Structure 1
Amino acid sequence: MKAALLESPGQLVISQVLDPEPPLKGLVVKVEACSICATDIKMFRHGQRDLIYPRILGHEVAGVVTETGTGDIPFRSGERVQIAPGITCGKCPACQQGASNQCDHIGILGFTHHGGFAQYLAVPAESVACGAVNLIPSGLTFVEATFAEPLACCLNSQELVRLDSKDAVLILGAGPMGCLHTMLARAKGVRKILLAERSLKRLMMSITAEPSRLINVSKENLKEVVKEETEGRGVDVIMLACPDSAIDYPILELLAPRGRVCFFSGLPPEKSQLHLDANFLHYREITLVGAYGCTADQNRVALELMASGQLNVNWLVTKRILLEAIHEGIGCLMEHSGMKVVVTEF
């Protein structure tokens, strides 16, 4: 089969590789759509600690079951499926507590196992057993289904930071994840949604997400806008959705008493250190929370949200490309010329 194979950082080649055999109690899926994620770009450029080369990247994937391995498997050939990337054990304390994205033994499609930038994907028995394979609701396209994983990551972080309809939220970063956060918050009925960004391209594209207010931090004073929009109180929640640390303000000053900050995006090591005033946290009762990945259940919820019509993700798709054009797609996203690029022809 044809696959985009990462041989080393910066070396992504279209190769012919062996078709996967159906794993015992697992599946083979014909890939119909696989979105390029910022994490894929990061791994393409810099590698990743869990990668073993060569590796087929791609973890936002949807397709059709073509083969099943031996054993009792609750899926049939011809069924349309979306696969949550986490391969979890179901037995460790994290899994038992419902936090399978923190599984002690986690594997990840596109990281530790081959992913979706290929004509076919082998889904291991562990993925089937942990509920990572989801039927795509009727009426939802394969391209839309690839948004289940990133939307599930937004669900996870908004749950962890306890985002409520009574809150005012500031989302820092108007890329695809910031826009998904905005739309999800709007679907929850959050009363005030401020979306801040310094890239004019991204600001123009994010209008469709319909925040309460777009803030161009290259031209507007973020602190003053927050003060104006919240009658001087500050926001209840800050969602950091900008991996390049693009907002240069001391964010805690933007919070209301008992405000919460969610570190949704990972930062480069050289920018990851926090300089905090512990007394400020103490007296204002501020909460800081990290958020990483998502669970299989959250992927199912994300599919249901899209199928119900509460979130329209189609406008986020800038390009649909051939697998052979994956470098073009990566370049488009690196230049912030688009939101999402989806491989749809293999």
Structure 2
Amino acid sequence: MRALVFEEFGGPLTVREVADPAPAPDGVVVEVGASGVCRSDWHAWSGHDEDVVLPHVPGHELAGVVAAVGERVRGWSVGDRVTAPFVCACGSCPPCREGAGQVCLRQTQPGFTHWGSFAQLVALDAADVNLVALPDDLPVATAAALGCRYATAFRAVTGVGRAAPGEWVVVVGCGGVGLSAVQVAVAVGARVVAVDPSPGARELAASMGAEHVLDSANGVVDLTGGGAHVALDCLGSPATCEASIRSLRPRGRHVQVGLLPPAQGRPVIPMELVVARELAVLGSHGMAATDYPAMLSMIAAGRLRPQDLVTREIGLADAGAALVDVGRTPGVTVITSF
């Protein structure tokens, strides 16, 4: 198969022929129809994830068609249209038994623990636990974003942040996850302030329904009449993490969505505010396959429009450059030809 490969962290990204994957006994191989270019893939290429072993094929945000099935798989067949969470759960550890597969103790992640979806084929583990059937009318480029950015934002806003109608939600960082969070928060009736230094990102956030768009979080407390009820750091940097926490009103909820690898520096958490305002500091790590139906039903009803976030479709030959420049083009970039 053709795949995008790197052999050193931060090094060249080249498209070449590599061996086809084979399905694990409980897994499948998916023929990739689309794969999003995500900031998490940039972290893998940059050497920020200790699971990545060189040489490596990145990519974790995917949709496609089942091409091969392991002997122990019962619920899926060749030809099924599917996506999967970027966290592939084992289905049997304590968190999985509690319905929290997104923090599985034995999780695997395509593009991190093994070769990913910047390729014509990708192997996924524990298929009966992790695969999600795609509606026939959902375009594959749109479906790819559901495996990571959109699903991650959906759970961060609704499940972890518990945003309610009429509450102020501040989204710090309006890349793919942040724009998804804006759209989801608006759909549940929240009042949204979107923060990003990029004029293009702010324009997209406004088009998604953000009530206010700002180039920094300064002034959010006054603008929202005392601070946000929920604030999400959707970029993942020491500065955006601190800004998110400082934008909260008393008893507000901070949700850390963007990755914060130690190699990029650790944030300063203003614990004096956490104590004095009784703030909740929460983490959110993807979304288990069992939680997808609520999101898919809102998409089917037209309340959510993930397709509006896809601003660029590219071929595999252009994926290396897109990965190096991730975040510089507003919206979601998706590989749709391999």
TM-score in terms of structure 1 length: 0.88
Residues 37, 332 of structure 2: 8 Å contact kept: yes
CA deviations over 1:91-144 (Å, ceiling 9, x no partner)? 2222222222221111111111221111112233x2x132x1111012101111
* 1:1-346 matches, cutoff 5 A: 1-9=1-9, 10-124=11-125, 126=126, 128-130=127-129, 132-149=130-147, 150-158=149-157, 159-190=159-190, 192-217=191-216, 222-228=217-223, 230=224, 232-245=225-238, 247=240, 251-269=244-262, 270-278=264-272, 280-334=273-327, 336-346=328-338
For residue 67 of structure 1, give the secondary structure of its aligned residue in structure 2: strand
> 2: CA distance between counterparts of 1:28 and 1:247?
37
5+ unaligned residues in a row in structure 1: which ranges? none
Kindly tell me: are residues 13 and 300 of structure 1, through their superposed partners in 2, closer, same or farther at Cα, counting changes over 3 Å? farther
TM superposition shift of 1:75: 1.7
For residue 107 of structure 1, give the secondary structure of its aligned residue in structure 2: coil
Runs of 4 or more above 4 Å deviation: 245-253
Kindly tell me: are residues 283 and 240 of structure 1, through their superposed partners in 2, closer, same or farther at Cα, counting changes over 3 Å? same
Bigger Rg, structure 1 or 2:
1
Kindly tell me: are residues 22 and 282 of structure 1, through their superposed partners in 2, closer, same or farther at Cα, counting changes over 3 Å? closer
Kindly tell me: are residues 244 and 276 of structure 1, through their superposed partners in 2, closer, same or farther at Cα, counting changes over 3 Å? closer
TM superposition shift of 1:223: 4.2
Residues 172, 196 of structure 1: 8 Å contact kept: yes
> 2: CA distance between counterparts of 1:263 and 1:213?
21
> 1: CA distance between counterparts of 2:219 and 2:269?
22
> 1: CA distance between counterparts of 2:245 and 2:78?
52
TM superposition shift of 1:46: 2.8
Whichever residue aligns with residue 334 of structure 2, its letter is V
Residues 164, 188 of structure 1: 8 Å contact kept: yes
**Stretch deviating more after TM superposition (174-183 or 42-51):** 42-51
CA deviations over 1:19-54 (Å, ceiling 9, x no partner)? 223432432221110111101012222352111122
Kindly tell me: are residues 114 and 277 of structure 1, through their superposed partners in 2, closer, same or farther at Cα, counting changes over 3 Å? closer
Whichever residue aligns with residue 206 of structure 2, its letter is I
Residues 85, 286 of structure 2: 8 Å contact kept: no
Residues 175, 206 of structure 1: 8 Å contact kept: no
TM superposition shift of 1:207: 2.6
Whichever residue aligns with residue 7 of structure 2, its letter is E
Kindly tell me: are residues 67 and 321 of structure 1, through their superposed partners in 2, closer, same or farther at Cα, counting changes over 3 Å? same
> 2: CA distance between counterparts of 1:35 and 1:27?
20
Residues 7, 54 of structure 2: 8 Å contact kept: yes
How many aligned residue pairs are there?
334
Whichever residue aligns with residue 148 of structure 1, its letter is L
Whichever residue aligns with residue 267 of structure 2, its letter is Q
For residue 56 of structure 1, give the secondary structure of its aligned residue in structure 2: coil
For residue 326 of structure 2, give the secondary structure of its aligned residue in structure 1: helix
Whichever residue aligns with residue 6 of structure 1, its letter is F
Kindly tell me: are residues 148 and 53 of structure 1, through their superposed partners in 2, closer, same or farther at Cα, counting changes over 3 Å? same
> 2: CA distance between counterparts of 1:252 and 1:19?
45
TM-score in terms of structure 2 length: 0.90
Whichever residue aligns with residue 258 of structure 1, its letter is R
> 1: CA distance between counterparts of 2:281 and 2:46?
30
Kindly tell me: are residues 91 and 215 of structure 1, through their superposed partners in 2, closer, same or farther at Cα, counting changes over 3 Å? same
Residues 139, 307 of structure 1: 8 Å contact kept: no
Residues 241, 267 of structure 2: 8 Å contact kept: no
CA deviations over 1:298-334 (Å, ceiling 9, x no partner)? 3444333323322222232222111111123224424
Kindly tell me: are residues 253 and 275 of structure 1, through their superposed partners in 2, closer, same or farther at Cα, counting changes over 3 Å? closer
Residues 148, 302 of structure 1: 8 Å contact kept: no
> 2: CA distance between counterparts of 1:117 and 1:23?
19
**Stretch deviating more after TM superposition (19-28 or 235-244):** 19-28
Whichever residue aligns with residue 209 of structure 1, its letter is M
5+ unaligned residues in a row in structure 2: which ranges? none
Residues 83, 143 of structure 2: 8 Å contact kept: yes
Task: Give me the identity figure in percent.
Answer: 27
- CA RMSD across the alignment: 2.2
> 1: CA distance between counterparts of 2:97 and 2:270?
33
> 2: CA distance between counterparts of 1:239 and 1:265?
9
CA deviations over 1:165-184 (Å, ceiling 9, x no partner)? 23111111122211100100
